[in-house]
Structure 1
């Protein structure tokens, strides 16, 4: 057992991190105080960051043994010297980064290192990144910063130049399926189909393989696109995709909203059903505002996942049209893919792919999702 076991298909990166963790013990040159972990969504950036933190806190013979107290507490998220900043909204705030920088000045209390991990560092605005710059440039002794982002270009050059880069690759579907079978006990055939459909995104593959609701939502989205033949079909398909994505966001965040509201009421000493006094309303308003920001983020993520599925579907159509001989991503939709490939041209499919990519950009730029989705679906017509 090792803390690196959940990193599918990342042998080269694991080798770098193992050597760095061992050098951290001996003072070798392979260890540095600032890291930038990059890689496509689903490649395991955050998993690698947590595993590296565990290896640094490890007290076993081999760094990252997975058995010692340091490894187990880091992997469980309870180690006092390892902090993870993750944004549940569209941007990481200056205040949250400033608070993390302040706590980074403290010496480690239980382990050998104080490790600060920022997931999705690309969600920091420039003024937020500037707060972080000096802390990364001159970290206190025994302090390590790990920033996670899809691409080195997602952070300022001044940050990038002060970090050691580690790039994670897209694992093969077979490696992802192997992880799902070993770690989650998923049926091998279902795991491989899910890994291919998720394009080797480990989290998405697990959701597809283990959650029937997620599988049904993907199937409905793809079948709705497949049925688009007229403008009316396109408008209806866009509305259905919009409703499904919003329902997904609500189901994800609804329980969290209720729990946070109940926790705040208890902390304020309010009985269930008791009216909120005027002096406390600002706290509840702040909680509601944070909930709206989380819901916006969750909606965008849901839209993006649906559009990524559509991109993969029409990528498969293009593969068939060009007779490229490459394995299909959506093997469970092979019949529908072949039908569309026979009925349209490669030029049409390329145009569709461009429209789907444009819809992703528009939604990311705060264009009304319904308008962006309708324009995209109209481009799918083949009647």
Structure 2
């Protein structure tokens, strides 16, 4: 917990600690930006704990409450939907108007602030323009450009960098007790994404699904093969999303039934079914978000694969992201040339954009993988 969770961000940590501990550069609204997995939320909550803790108070106790999201002076909005609902922001804004109950500040954290629509952003804007004196807002987003200009003009921005593989591996070793070799492989294959590195290091099924993704891509030899590979990757993403959400859904339903006084296996009275229906709708939205995130992770893995192919074709040296399948990468590199691989990288990046724009995911992945066929088809003598 605390600052130990923030790796490779010395400048950003120094800035927020100076603000929290000495008031240097302190302002009522902050924006923490950086690529996925850089530790935006980790920094936000470490900063929140430092802002809330009073002089002489045990910082570890405050950190524990903030880490559990249970401190009375902490407000959190973290959506598992595709977008943040306007009502969620309205509720958080209402909570922000109260004075701190026990801490120095009331801190409101919005993760994935880039998921607010313009209308929702304008609700937040009013709170940022005239905040109570002891309220601090901390927003997290991939980049400043993901927020409307009027919000960007009212926040102090901190840009995080991508931590090194060694920094992420050290965190996995120290925090999670992962053996050094597994930690370094996971950190490298996750491309320093802290959350994904943790999952790869601690979940054998996640490692197996990633391996299937890369092998499916390497096995493409025709347009038909590309279509079949796209279907397999979509199936892998669906299985990954199901693994993430299924257990949680069951626990939530069980807790909801218990709170409604319904015995396990009992019939839900008609008067209570509407409340369960609302829960099921939330779970469906979360499943949609989880599937989309899973597809994006697969496409990121494909980018790392074709990056390795390109590096091999150019002969520039450097460590491969996917060193464990170096033989397959060398074979793919020998079957094509650098311009073809660049075209495939562009197609995979375009698929990410299309899926974010609500294009049917399977079609977007098919288009990307069909471009990979060129790497294997356009060879002297018709080699495939």
Number of the residue aligned with 1:361: 353
- 1:380 is aligned, of 367, 372, 379, to 372
C-alpha offsets along residues 50-107 of structure 1, whole Å, 9 cap, x if unaligned? 000111123467xxx9854323322333211112110011010000100000011111
The SS at the match of 2:125 is helix
Match of 1:47 in 2: 42
Q: Give the aligned partner of residue 169 of structure 2.
A: 177
2:48 touches 2:107 (CA, 8 Å); kept in 1? yes
Pairing 1:33-112 to 2, within 5 Å after superposition = 33-59=28-54, 67-112=59-104
Which residue is 2:214 aligned to?
222
Counterpart check, 1:287 vs 2:286 = no
2:54 touches 2:104 (CA, 8 Å); kept in 1?
A: no
- 1:313-352 map, 5 Å: 313-352=305-344
Equivalenced residue count is: 375
Deviations 1:27-49 (A, max 9, x none): x4421110000000000000000
Aligned to 2:19: 20
Secondary structure of the equivalent of 2:158?
A: strand
The root-mean-square deviation of aligned C-alpha atoms, in Å, is 1.7
- Secondary structure of 1:320's match? helix
Contact 1:3 1:66 (C-alpha < 8 Å) held by counterparts: no
Does the 8 Å contact 1:311/1:356 carry over to 2? yes
Shift of 1:126: 0.6
- Report the Cα offset of residue 290 of structure 1: 1.1
Hey, what's the Cα distance between the residues in 2 that align with 1:115 and 1:207?
29
Aligned to 2:381: none
Of 189-198 and 123-132, deviating more is 189-198
- Give the one of 22, 26, 40 matched to 1:31: 26
Distance between the aligned counterparts of 2:80 and 2:179, measured in 1? 32
Residues 159-202 of structure 1 show CA distances to partners (whole Å, capped at 9, x for unaligned) of 01000001111011111111111111111122111111111101
Q: Secondary structure at the match of 1:107?
A: coil
TM-superposed CA distance for 1:275, in Å, is: 3.3
SS in 2 for 1:166: strand
Q: Which runs of 5+ in 1 are unaligned?
A: none
Specify the alignment match of 2:7 in structure 1: 8
TM-score by length of 1: 0.94
Instruction: Tell me, in whole angstroms, the C-alpha distance in 2 between the residues paired with 1:260 and 1:239.
Output: 31
